[in-house]
Chain A
Amino acid sequence: MLVVALVAVVACAVRAIGFTPIEAVQGPAQKIFYIHVPAAWCAFLAFGLVGICSGLYLWLGDRRLDLFSEASVEVGVLLTAMVLVSGPLWGKPVWGAWWQWEPRLTSTLFLFFLMVGYLSLRSAVLEPELRARYSAVVGILGALLVPFIHMTVYMFRTIHPKPVVLKPDGPTASSEMLVTLLASFAAWTFFYVALVTTRYALGRVAAARDA
């Protein structure tokens, strides 16, 4: 499944670069958006699922939920890193600045810190049951924190309005761009699912081996 997903993502990338029109005002750099946005959606999805699974784990105690969370965070941290890398690479040519403290980017940055913290904790606790419990606690607290971060930055920004050079989503979306974007969303979500299921399977094998 993973191989198929990989092909799908590559196909989208090719389409994005080759066949979608170059956006008039932002230039080719705008095409970063076709990866950046779906990746961001997947990253938040990843952590949202971790939050839910963490809560469920604390309630039900099923180890598989913990293994899923582990897989999702590992994949998620990479996705988040990609969002944080592609963001400035898009922002610099388009906004003129590498970084803006606006709600979405800031939430993503903190999502990254939360995920890194989660993974650090996992590597610091060796006993599996303890590790699962602690991770679940961090997972659920972290997932709940993200909306607060978003709100806080939003409040901060609306009170200090900064001149926005360009709406990050681009002015109008031609139908071709829309298709590419939607296809990219689908491809990346599929990619996320494939990565997590693969990683989860590996996790289960490892857990069975250690048992």
Chain B
Amino acid sequence: MPDGPPQNAGYMIAAYAIIGVVMGGYALRLILRVGRAVGRGTGA
């Protein structure tokens, strides 16, 4: 078997990291906003 697959895991990690941070961050932001909106609705 010739030399194995190329060592480019760095790109993968970068992509997953960026996507994870951005999409995860957006999702969390939405969740927090929902929490606040619900709180305002039921609170004083």
Contacts and interface: CB of A to CB of B under 8 A. Distances in A.
A201 B30 CA distance: 10
B19 to A, nearest CB: 5
A35 B19 contact: yes
Given A86-B15, A195-B26, A27 B5 contact: yes
Interface string B21-44: 011101100110110010001000
A139 B7 CA distance: 43
A89 B34 contact: no
Interface string A78-118: 11011001100110111000000000000000000000000
Given A93-B6, A195-B26, A85 B18 contact: yes
B36 to A, nearest CB: 10
A6 B26 CA distance: 11
Given A78-B23, A82-B23, A202 B9 contact: no
A82 B19 contact: yes
B10 to A, nearest CB: 8
Contacts of A199: 30
Interface string A190-202: 0100110011011
A93 B24 CA distance: 25
Interface of A: 2-3, 5-6, 9, 13, 17, 22-29, 31-32, 35-36, 39, 75, 78-79, 81-82, 85-86, 89-90, 92-94, 191, 194-195, 198-199, 201-202, 205
Interface size class of B (residues with CB under 8 A): 20 to 34
B34 A32 contact: no
**Shortest Cβ-Cβ A-B pairs, 10 listed:** A93-B8, A27-B6, A27-B5, A28-B9, A29-B8, A89-B15, A29-B11, A32-B15, A86-B15, A27-B8
Contact of B12 (A17, A191, A198): A17
A2 B16 contact: no
Most chain A CB atoms below 10 A, which of B7, B8, B12, B15: B12
Nearest to A94: B8
Nearest to A85: B18
Contacts of B33: 202
B31 A3 contact: yes
Given A28-B5, A29-B11, A17 B16 contact: yes
